[in-house]
Structure formats: C-alpha cells, structure tokens
Structure 1
Amino acid sequence: MKTVLPIAVVSLLSASSAWAQSAPGGPLSPSAGWAAQQAGVGPVGSQAAILNKGLFAFSTLTNSAIGGKTESVLRYAVTEKLSVGLMHLQKQATLRPNVNYTLTPESVESPSLNIGYYDSSVGGKGSAFYATAGRTISDMGPITWSGYLGVAKVSSESAPRLLAGAAVPLLKNKLVASAQWEGKKLSLGIVGHVGTLGKYPVRLGLIAVGDTVGTLAATTWNR
C-alpha cells in the first residue's frame, strides 16, 4: 500500500508532570486506544506499564460503527520504547499489523513524542502513519488527567487528520473515562477493573463510536 511519512507534531500541552507516559495504544483505533488498555495499568493516564519490556496487552471491542465490527488487538512491548501488535478485523477476516515507537518519553519539562503505523485505519481502509505528543497533567486541579495531540496521514485520503484525546480517572481510579478524536469520529469510553481470571486482570467497559455503543474487554500479562 502507498504510505506517507508522518507529519511532525508540536505539542501545546505544557503543564508540569512527574509521570512518564507514551502514546495511546491506537490513536486511530478505539479498539486499541486508551479506553481499551489504560484502565488499571500503571498511574491513570500513563502507559509506562504497557511499555515495560515483555508485557502483552490484549483488548477486543464489538461495535457496529467500526470497520471490523469486532476488532481484537494484541500488543507486545519489544523494548521500553517499541511495541508491536496485530489487529484482527472480524468482518474482513484478516490480521493487520501496527507499530508504536516512543521517540522521547515524557519528562517534567516536555511531553512524550511518539510515532506509529497502522495497516488498517478507522473504517478498515488504507494504511496510516501517525505522530503524537502526550502529557500527563497533575497540577491543574484535584484530578490528574492525560491528553495528547497529533496528526496522521492515511494512504487512502488526501488530507491529514488531526488527532486528539484525553483520559481521566473516576471513583478513586476504579474507572477510566476517555475521549478519542481520530479525525472523523469521536469515541467515548468508560472502562473499569472488575476482577481477575486466574492471574490475569479483567477490564470491561463501554465504547461509544459516534452514536453507537459497543462492549470492550481488555487484559495484560507478562511474558
């Protein structure tokens, strides 16, 4: 497929932070995004735990508004900065790869900078490169939250997409609410830790894509 180099991102998020974080699991895909993989993983708003070397993260989302109808994502942290994954699209009966790399982790002075590639963008059409800048905000009121800004270029589209998202803890970190804009649709999520199955944490939630609500399940484990 035709591919295009990612567009550079300049972050507008400038609050101080003591947490390190990385890019969301999939800024172009609600089934691989924050709502799927953030709840209960490290400090709320941080994906540092997901990027610990040797960690797996799995999520599956069923929603008639997404390209695969049911999309399941398995990600693996190859290194502290590099994660790779496969997305299964049920409607297309196919697997699509995705990659995320953290150029620079978040620090007190600067946001995290990340780039990534998806072989299936929202709607299941075309490959996409994206770049994001993320920041954990801890000094703007009583609630600590995270946000990111970015851009993406989808091979089947002429114009770049604006990416944006935010995640916030609720009920003493038992739930995480998130919003994710992928350039065409807004996804809203609420995900919580409901228990364990053996040694695996179980996280369940609801994800709304546009006006359609679907169900999500996610877990993580070490190699």
Structure 2
Amino acid sequence: MLPQRSGPGRWRRFRVRGSPAITPTRTKEKLMNTKLIAAACGAFLTVAVLAGCSTPSGGARQVPGAENGGGSSSATSSTHNAADVAFAMNMVVHHQQAIEMSDMLLAKQGVDPRVAELASKIKDAQGPEIDTMNSWLSGWGQSSDMSGMHHGDGMMSQADMTALQNATGAEAGSLFLTQMVEHHEGAIDMAKAEVQNGRNPDAVALAHRIVTDQTAEIATMQSMLAGG
C-alpha cells in the first residue's frame, strides 16, 4: 500500500494493483507452510534412512547356513581338518554295518518286537546321517574309505556277521543286542575323538548327537539283555 493524500492534511492508503498486501496474517501463514514443508521433508528422509537400513525379506537377519535348515553354508563346509575327514569316512562305514546288522535282524521271524523296533530306529537315524557325511566328504574332495576301520572301532568281524545271519528267534535278538552294544561303544569312542579334535562345526555337532543318542540306546539294550 502506498500513501495518497486526500484532501488537506489527510492521507489514505491505496493498494498497488497486482501486488498483494503484506499483512501479519499472511506472514504467519507463510511461516506455518514453511514449517510443514520442513516437517514433511524430515519425515521422508527418516523413512528413507530406515528403509535403507532394514534387513531383506521382512527384517529377519539371515544367519549363515540358516537357509539350509541347519545345514552348513559353503564357507562352513570348507572349514575342516584331518580329524573331520577321518570321522566322516570311518563313521559312514560304521553306520553302514549297523544298518546291515539291523536288516539281518528285521528279516527274521520270532524276534522280540522291542528289539525289532530298536533295529528300525537305528536304521532310521543312521541312514540320513550317512547321506550327510557323504555330502561333507564330497565337498571336501574325499570319499568313504574302510582302510582305517578295524575290530577295535566296534566293527563286527565277518565271523560275527555270519553268526548273526545264522541266528534265529530269541537267540538272534539277544545276539543282535550284544553285538550292537559293542558297535555303539566303538561309535561313541570315534565321536568323542571328533569332539576333541575336529574343526568343522557341523561334524562336531553330529558327533555330540551320536554320543548322546547311542549312549541312551546302549542303556536300553543292556536293560533288554538283563530281562528288563
């Protein structure tokens, strides 16, 4: 607004066309708009930063190996030493004989159902473990080898296997339990050596599980042999 004189000693304000009047109300509105724009920009930047820092797929952080259901990642699988290789090689063969013994028993008639159930349980547990250990050996550029195995590892001799093959009924069940106790004791010794000397975390974890599971099975078999 520019002042304009109107009459003697009197002035009045007039508006310049095309130029809005500057009033306290308009100044206040402009400041409020500026604050709103600044707040909106700040919120946008906050969302952008949070989005950039969030983890993929809904936010759960991926643990190496977790995507394989507890199996190892390629980095974990490559971490091994000679003790891991020896454990996997020898335990594969050891498990294979346990399954062969179980198959012999399950093919017989007149066997105590509890003994047959135990034989089935041994097969179900050790079959997948063989597959797991063979996959490790393949990844390590190794293969299962029986050269390191001997009777002292709890392995049955050929004469032992023949005796089990020829046994029948209750005698077969009793012989199976006696042999499998010795077989399990050998496996536990091998597993304990892996726990002490192994480097691969998955192999050591399997060794721990073998010690736990087969110790419990030995107690069950000894109870059966005692007539329990």
Q: Flag the structure with higher helix content.
A: 2
Q: Does the pair score TM above 0.5?
A: no
TM-score (norm 1): 0.20
TM-score (norm 2): 0.20
Q: Flag the structure with higher strand content.
A: 1
User: Which one scores higher on RCO, CA 8 angstroms, separation ≥ 6?
Assistant: 1
